[in-house]
Structure 1
């Protein structure tokens, strides 16, 4: 799969395709259903398939720190889209220039000149262009005159309700990991590179792999029984805390994972942490000794939950 960053990197070889557009946060079962539509039409027409995404996501541009927590970081989203078998992902930088682009110019620059779309799969509630003036009806009208067809996205239901990133976010916020799994089609996980931390865990006898969240606001907070996938595909059970580490006066959100019975160097590795069970909320302890005792208690609980 080819990742194209920005309209300015589109070339003639990228023109004429079947496309869809959206945030694809989480790449959940609803997104998978849409992508199946895209791929089916691509096979029918013998054309490559493209998913158009935004970075940052529009709500992050408008709301800043008040934006909802993401389900997936950018790199992880691209990996998930690649796994769906798309030919290309086009990532548009959502900035003031794109925000202020009139709807007609958006269609002209992106769908006609940029991609020469032959078929476009999009929800009938999709809005685009300056002040969200463009809509599904406008796309259909322009498509009828410019030679591309428009198809409404299929709805995916679980327990009689529509699958959405918002619904998954709400499930994770209340630590309903089972519902999140049914909506995602997989257990929820967070991936990132292991960085050098304060090495406090090592001094407490529980070395941890630290994954800095950077600007990623995770939808989970607390202590969990986890399974971590390493670069080599090895799966290791463990316990993880995701949060601010208030006992040691943390200032940035961090994912810390202690992997059971693991010997080796994880620095620089891509660690994918799957959240199996919720153990407890993150809290501030009176000192390191109390924190250490609680960590060992958490390890016992996690081992029991994971049967290891």
Structure 2
């Protein structure tokens, strides 16, 4: 399992303006959306007995361009869980609001990195920008680090097969249904976590009961029908998974539905992780329920065959915990 269901073995702090904060030793800063292999490489290069991450909620692009912001790869909970697997000791979450957006690059370094977090070393990606108007860069950070007594290290781009790994590229893979490529860049299968909610039991009436996660507040970067795995903290099941609006039955909200193969389990109220391994098709509208039932039956049969052809898929021994 990838560990998204368990309480992260680290301390997560809200970075409040006047509250005292624990002191950071080695610090890195960013959105860390998806905690992909580039992020993992950056964290692995950090030195010091305590490795800390400063991230933001909401993400800056969500603050400035809420309607145009791309779908997130990971929620804050998923991000914290993924970071815990990289060896990070502490996460600081700063609320990105008007005050933080208007903070100059110099004040960001002095007030947040130095005075409040006490960074002894700061590790950033090659394209790191910060402060009002994104005017701060590596050169400014390095100069101020010399003045304030901390070291600055720049991490070069992390590339696979000649391409720079990025959250944007992973979204493109997911949108195109290239699940293996997305998993390679993430270092693990793409997954969605959430709490199982009550449904309208249409799946049960059609002969395919499902565990449902409401995605209305967090639209993911992909839709369609998939083979995947549903994880609880104690058990895992192969599953046929749908992400969409269910147009044939008049669905109005975005829903993830996971039909566990050959077993009926009551997961209502539990937090689960759903890993998406292979995309079969896009969601479709059917004129008759019989057509929908037949299509679901084919999806379930293909999913069952997928796991027969990939006997290691439930365990995913190829997951990389760090880059």
What TM-score, normalized to structure 2? 0.89
Which residue in 1 is equivalent to 2:176? Answer: 174
Which protein has the bigger helix share? 1
2:23 to 15, 30, 47: 15
2:104 paired with 1:86: no
1:158 aligned residue: 160
Query: Which residue in 2 is equivalent to 1:117?
Result: 119
- Structure 1, unmatched stretches of 5+, are none
- In the alignment, the residues of structure 1 paired with residue 29 and residue 97 of structure 2 have an alpha-carbon distance, to the nearest angstrom, of 17
- Corresponding residue number in structure 1 for 2:219: 217
Superimposed CA distance per residue, residues 132-172 of structure 1 (whole angstroms, 9 cap, x where no aligned partner): 12111111111111101110013211001111111111111
Q: What is the Cα deviation at residue 217 of structure 1?
A: 2.2
Task: Name 1:205's counterpart in structure 2.
Answer: 207
Q: Report the counterpart of residue 274 of structure 1 in structure 2.
A: 275
- Give aligned pairs, total: 300
Partner of 2:185: 183
> What TM-score does the superposition give when structure 1 sets the normalisation length?
0.93
Partner secondary structure for residue 65 of structure 1? coil
Sort the Cα spacing of 1:70 and 1:249 in 2 relative to 1 into closer, same or farther, 3 A.
Answer: same
1:49-60 matches, within 5 Å, as: 49-60=51-62
Q: 2:303 maps to which residue?
A: 302
Displacement of 1:302 after TM fit?
1.2
Q: What's the offset of the Cα at 1:76?
A: 0.7
Q: Report the equivalent of 2:12.
A: 3
From 36, 61, 65, give the equivalent of 2:44: 36
CA distance in 2, matches of 1:66, 1:140: 33
Alpha-carbon shift at residue 95 of structure 1 (Å)? 1.4
Contact 1:27 1:81 in 2 (8 A): yes
CA distance in 2, matches of 1:219, 1:9: 36
Is 1:104–1:134's contact at 8 Å kept on the other side of the alignment? yes
Contact 2:38–2:165, Cα closer than 8 Å, also in 1: yes
Q: How far is 1:123 from its partner?
A: 2.0
Deviates more, 1:181-190 or 1:246-255: 246-255
Q: Give 1:23 shift.
A: 0.8
Partner Cα separation in structure 2 for residue 58 and residue 5 of structure 1: 16
Which residue matches 2:50? 48
Distance 1:288 1:27 in 2: 40
State whether residues 243 and 256 of structure 2, in contact with CA within 8 Å, keep that contact through their aligned partners in structure 1: yes
Q: Residue by residue, what CA displacement relative to the aligned partner does 1:61-108 show, whole Å, maximum 9, x if unpaired?
A: 122132112111111111111121211000111112211112122112
Q: How does 1:70-85 map to 2 (within 5 A)?
A: 70-85=72-87
Structure-2 separation of matches of 1:196 and 1:117: 46
Aligned to 1:99: 101
Deviations 1:109-145 (A, max 9, x none): 2111111111000123211111112111111111111
Q: Relative contact order (C-alpha < 8 Å, sep 6+): which is higher? A: 2
| Deviation, structure 1 residue 9 | 7.3
Q: What per-residue deviation string (whole Å, max 9, x for no partner) do you get for residues 242-286 of structure 1? A: 112222232322111000122331011121111121111111122
Q: 1:6 to 1:259 in 2, by over 3 A?
A: same
For the residues of structure 2 that align with 1:195 and 1:291, how far apart are their CA atoms?
A: 23
Aligned-partner SS, 2:33? coil
